[in-house]
Amino acid sequence: MRPLRSTALAGGLGLALLAGAAGAAPARAALAGPGPAPAAFSTAAARGTFSTAAARGTFSTAAARGVVDRMVPAWSPSIDLAACAPAATGAERYEIAPRHGRVRIAGSSPSALLTGVGAYLKDIAHTDVSWSSDASAEPLGVRGRPPLPSAPVTHTANVPHRVLSNDTADGYTNAYWDWHRWQRELDVAALHGINAFFLPVGMEAVYQRTMRDFGYTAAQMRAWMPMPAHQPWWLLQNMSDLAADQESQALIDARAALGRRIADRMRALGIEPILPGYFGTVPGGFTARNAGAAVVPQGTWCGAQRPGWLDPRTAVFGRVAAAFYRTQARLLGTSGAFKMDLLHEGGNPGTVPVGEAARDVQAALETAHPGATWVILGWQRNPTAELLAGVDRSRMLIIDGLTDRYTDSDPSSDPATRFSGTPYAFGSIWNFGGHTATGANAAVWNTRFFAQLATPRTPLRGIAVLPEANDNNDAAFEFLTELAWAPARPDLPTWFGHFADARYGTPDPHAEAAWRIIGATAYSMPANGWSEAPDGLFAARPSLGATRGSPTSPARTRYDTTAFAGALTELLHAAPRVRATPLYRYDLVDVARQVLSNRSRDWLPRIRAAYDAANRPLLHDLTAQWLGTMRTLDALLRTRPEFMLGHWLRYGTRAAANPADRAAVQRDLRTLITVWADTPAVAAHLDDYANREWSGLVGGYYLDRWQRFFHALDTALSTGRPPAPIDWFALGHTWSTAPTVFPTTPAGSPYALATRARTLLTTSAL
């Protein structure tokens, strides 16, 4: 997803997700008036549930019991789970109450029930379930009996659809995850109320088997499709034929089997698997193999060749779409919602009328899956007015990725106006490429979500968690998902204080103060054209004028970084009982990382000034301290698995069946987070787009680049010649293809290294 850079929109390979239907008002009232009827993902339309049994409150609680058994097995025997009726409005609800010395949690749908379990753990048991941290990867360390609520608690959903996962997350986060890791992700998502989840895992098998009926061999399809970490952009019709490496047939088959297992578990948990739909992507040479086909060339995207677009008005399109949906249902099962971004990020319609094409894309979906919802991303200029005019908008859901980016006066800040009343979900993309920067526009969400919800005849139907990579920024994830159940705007300082109490299992004034500082700074960024925090300069391609790591990140800080640094001091003063918790150690590393990363923006101009003044001794001192800080940062990151490159790469190692596959998989993952792809043409657009402050990157790849750059500066001063040019693509390509093995086991003390990082801020000459 390539961002269109302008004064209104700057940045982001941003994509999206999906979501659903009726609002908090009674279902029949929501249908009144001239606006579009709310779309629904499945048979239980207006209630936001996923089966008629769930709508009646008669579903099985077995899958929810499995989540409780996995997450808190010691408490599971003392927690009763039950179904209950929905609210009088038809909206989902959950109940938490003491009963005969036990905890009773009930929900009107499988999702509502598990949301209640998550709310009990966080709000009553002070045992928060982290999205980001591996602290939740195994059973939580609870003791004794589960605490009883002092009084019954009931909450009602104000929107029916709570959606997770950007298209790009399958590349930037989980391309090679195994079932164990996926199971944990689904458990955590369900406990936070997610009931719709974009699922592209296994789609290469769907395309491969579909296209054999249209003249292509399995080998030809393997050559056309990228490796798994780059597949999101192939599914978006952004690129194909990307590199020499090809996904092995064994891995294609294994991902199809894994995709089915994930989809089946989603359904059991009350999570709708949102599957990619068919909108016309075809391999090269399609017209030569299929009489009557008309294919519109799509040119390039960020230097990569785009696949062609089969004209949806042709009979051939109807046959391909029918075969695609049959194959997909056979491999992955069915769904009530399918995501399709027609002409995404610069797609070319040629002479094809977009409205007519959209009509026929929707007709093919309706034929295969009667009543299904077309889910489309609200991003850049899509969906256009022409597209919306050609479809039945009551069967469409727009997942808006721009709801928090622009000022109140900007037309883009009003989804109802932009999309002519089409049902939409309130979404945010708080990282692009998976940047590790802390922060989001949560204060904007808090105002706009409730204002849009209160608008008469509002088409707002859900929330959508849309970071380009998942599993970072726990506070953003929890705040956005909780908005779907909040009766009114939360008070931000109170919310962040409670977040700290639940996160560490006990109230602590210093921990609460730390999170209130973080909430008032990094999570209170304004709607000023951006939705993410700036990344740091340690990850930037070395330059004395560098202002950002990614080519599309904010060039200036978006919050008071000096005030933010106070959060590190407060965390370091937390009580020993807090410091003993895994989530504290994770947060301490993350906050210390962010404090050092923020200071890189202050330090680089001083190095530039020394170079411009030809002050070689000072340049030596400043660059030595810069590099020393990077080594300290790398050591700090090494103390937690979540910030280790090797920890992320290990899934790729496990997924490969032989040495050749392992090498291809490693190149797939490493190029994505460095030069992005194997070709200079693509790297020219996307180099460092997916940078991360991880151990192994900071102390390896990034450190090596800055060392080479500083050496070139020093040589230039000593010789009186311009600095020697460095081929950054060649350097990155060599690094991404090297057989280096990175550690997977943490080492060192988070507290000691965070203390050292804090000292650097006050003693460094930088």
14 pLDDT more than 60: no
- Comparing C-alpha atoms, which of 479, 125, 521 is closest to residue 513? 521
Nearest-angstrom CA–CA distance, 396 and 40: 9
Q: Would the CA dihedral through 332, 338, 344, 349 be positive or negative?
A: positive
For domain 159-488, give the fold: TIM Barrel (3.20.20)
- Alpha carbon separation from 117 to 67, 81, 96, 111, 124 (Å, rounded): 9, 9, 8, 10, 10
- In sequence order, what are the residues at sequence separation of 6 or more whose Cβ sits closer than 8 angstroms to the Cβ of residue 613? none
Equal CATH topology for 159-488 and 561-763: no
Looking up tokens 């006066």, which residue turns up?
409
Nearest-angstrom CA–CA distance, 639 and 514: 21
Radius of gyration of the chain measured on its C-alpha atoms: 25
Nearest-angstrom CA–CA distance, 347 and 543: 34
Nearest-angstrom CA–CA distance, 635 and 501: 28
Provide mean pLDDT across the span 47-73.
Answer: 73
**Beta pairing class for 281-282 and 79-83:** unpaired
Nearest-angstrom CA–CA distance, 565 and 520: 12
* Contact predicate 303/320, CB 8 Å: no
Q: Is the domain 52-156 a CATH 3.30.379.10 member?
A: yes
Supply the pLDDT for residue 410. Answer: 86
Q: Where are the domains of the chain?
A: 52-156, 159-488, 561-763
Number of Cβ within a 10 Å radius of residue 618: 16
27 pLDDT more than 80: no
Quote the mean pLDDT of the chain. Answer: 91
Q: What is the pTM of this model?
A: 0.93
Residue 416 or 358, more confident? 358
For 252-280, the three-class secondary structure string (H helix, E strand, C coil) is HHHHHHHHHHHHHHHHHCCCEEEEECCCC
Provide mean pLDDT across the span 557-579.
Answer: 98
- Alpha carbon separation from 305 to 239, 348, 682, 762 (Å, rounded): 5, 13, 10, 50
22 pLDDT more than 60: no
For domain 561-763, the CATH architecture is: Up-down Bundle (1.20)
Residue type, 584: Y
- Comparing C-alpha atoms, which of 571, 567, 623 is closest to residue 600? 623
Nearest-angstrom CA–CA distance, 293 and 79: 59
* Maximum pairwise Cα distance, the chain: 84
The predicted-structure confidence for 223-232, as pLDDT tens digits, reads as follows: 999 999 999 9
Query: 371 in helix, strand or coil?
Result: coil
The predicted-structure confidence for 464-504, as pLDDT tens digits, reads as follows: 999 999 999 999 999 999 999 999 999 999 999 999 999 99
439 pLDDT more than 90: yes
* Contact predicate 152/450, CB 8 Å: no
- Alpha carbon separation from 206 to 171, 277, 315, 366, 375 (Å, rounded): 18, 11, 21, 19, 19
* Contact predicate 192/129, CB 8 Å: yes
Number of Cβ within a 10 Å radius of residue 43: 14
